[in-house]
Structure 1
Amino acid sequence: MIAASPNTPAEIAELLAFYASAGVDEALEDAPINRFAEVRPKQAERASAPAARESTPPERPASGPGPDANRAPQRPAAAPGLDASKVPDAPARSMPATAAMPDEAQALLARQMAASASTLDELRQHMAGFDGCNLKFTAKNLVFADGNPNAELMLVGEAPGRDEDLEGLPFVGRSGRLLDRMLAAIGLDRNSAYIANVIPWRPPGNRTPTPHETEICRPFIERQIELVNPKVLVNLGGPSAKTLLNTTEGILRLRGNWRTHTTASGTIIPAMPTLHPAYLLRTPAHKKLAWRDFLEVKAKLRALG
């Protein structure tokens, strides 16, 4: 919890870390500035006092800084109740490195919390109490999982959408209804499968999760897979496949080819990357490709007994 009026170095550091994890990458001043204003040196001064111009910088308009203002480091505006003298000067070109430090710290915390969970219920409690991902503060619900945790098949998508966020369950909207039909086509349903997402909180506006957000949430889904220990893993869409299979290939290259996911304990799980139901709704012609992939999954489950 961020203090209302942080004054100690620890409280200030915590506040800045929160701003960074929330995506704040620029300090703004209280008064608006017209950064498009042109600097027009006075012609009279240029004609009458050339020597003075060499030693004295030109005046800047009252409406804002000149074109070189962004090149100089500026002190960020203090938050309400924060002593401005205690806010360090921020280098103009070092914001990305500064913003990445809290993300790494939160990813480390996520790894520690995930590893300490010995059951799915404990993992869910840890995720509900984890405040290191900024997506949690804009989502309505934690979308943990749906289906049978003892199932032989586990399916993992990318992130919840609007309907999932409202209900707190994965794949309950249009994509979910299509996924139900895809499972039914190979003789399965939600009672014989376990469904989750790489990201358990809905990104605002259904935007794509950032690499930092994905990396922070990765330990939770990896531990979730390890605890469920399915015989077969299905990666629904490119982001899920890239995150859990450690690859950079596109989903159209990956799909239909068996890969493996290795858990932290060393268990190797056969994984089938396939097209996300949301993609299939936009591109119905590719449903035949997903159908082939699910037939492969059905055959693999039968072969594994």
Structure 2
Amino acid sequence: MITTILSNNSQLFPHTLFLAGIPGLHAAHIRISLPFCFIFFVVVTGNGVLLFLILTECSLHQPMFFFLAMLSFVDLVLSLSTLPKMLAIFWFGATAISSHFCLSQIFFIHAFSAMESGVLVAMALDRFVTICNPLHYGIILTPIVVAKIGGLVVLRGVGLTISFPSLAHRLPYCGSHTIAYTYCEHMAVVKLACGATTVDNLYAFVVAIFLGVGDVTFIAYSYGQIVRTVIHFPSPEAHATAGSTCTAHVCVILFFYGPGFLFVVMQRFGPHTVSAAKVILANLYLLFPPALDPIVYGVKTKQIRDRLFKILSPKQIDPT
């Protein structure tokens, strides 16, 4: 689909680009790859286990866990679209990347990052209804409503970012073909162009503001209403229960928007040169949340812990 959309201007976009890796640390790429391998293992294992538990356990077929399954799937796609190529750069110096793969990577990174933000909004809505309107939870978040929210998250993510590859592809590239990162990010590719990039910069800025500010505002409003409701709970035990219900989601929000905010600030307002710190932060922005999300939910969510322990614990054999 991406290739078809971009076929008209193929003479302008280089057939092969190159990923620079981490500037100044090329000699240490093998050592740097070790934590990346560990992160890859955690991402695939953790999110794979979460998806398996949610899909196979009927008691987890609830809106909260449906959104969590979506989050795990998005995290898997984000990691699988970037980490294997990073490891190939670190291990084999395989810096070359084809134009089609680069443009596809731009789409997957931005579309699924937008979907992740949308899933976090949906999870905030779920927490809001759970705490502020528990008696009507089943009436408000019916399976049909939950499915529509999930579809909207996907359509919004794709609709807002499908233009990124075509916008980058239409530009002339007459200078360096080396991208100063370990993956193809839209603005990093656009910076290689020798033509006017005003449209690209403006559209990327509008999308970032719409997703970042808009989604964070909705989440903040939801938690503001939750705090107002919790304050009026009659007992400390009720406060603790409400806090436990939201802790995992709050941690995941910080993991996603924290590095993302720093990365956007460095991209927009930092020095033009790309440092090792900027590249490492760009990697953490994509890899940190997918690795930590399943751990946080596995530790903080009782239903998931119980189901996992039930599977892992040995069956008791009756000696008689």
Which TM-score band applies after superposition, normalised by the shorter structure? under 0.3
Structure with the largest fraction of helix? 2
Pair member with larger Rg: 1
TM-score, normalised by the number of residues in structure 2: 0.21
Q: Which has the higher contact order (CA 8 A, sep 6+)?
A: 2
Structure with the largest fraction of strand? 1
